[in-house]
Amino acid sequence: MKKRIFSKRVRLGGCALILIQTILLLLVSTWLVGNSYQNAWSHYLSSDNNYQLFLNKVPSQQKEEVMSLLTQYAQQDNLLIMRKDSGNTIAGQPSLNIGILGNTKNKNVTFSFLNTIY
């Protein structure tokens, strides 16, 4: 009888230790993921990498607001914004409107179209 009680205590203690280890593992992994996320955000705009922002299905009422906000940030932070819009079909072919907004000084920018570099 005593051996059976001892085995229940050991089993209960083992389950409690496994539960505590699981909780600690979840806390540590959450903390590490949070730290890497914070580091990624703190170094987001400090590098010279290109960042792309895709805006799809913006209502026509808000297009001007979005463009004025992007223009404001481009002028404030000396950014370069390249915009590509699908236009109306011309002679059965879809058209593509491309616009560049911002200051290209001190930026290595090449724009090519039909094997011609501008």
Say what the pLDDT of residue 47 is: 61
Listed in sequence order, the residues at least 6 apart from 73 whose beta carbon sits closer than 8 Å to its beta carbon are: 79
| pLDDT tens sequence across 21-74 | 999 999 999 999 999 998 887 776 666 566 667 777 778 788 788 878 877 877
pTM of the model: 0.39
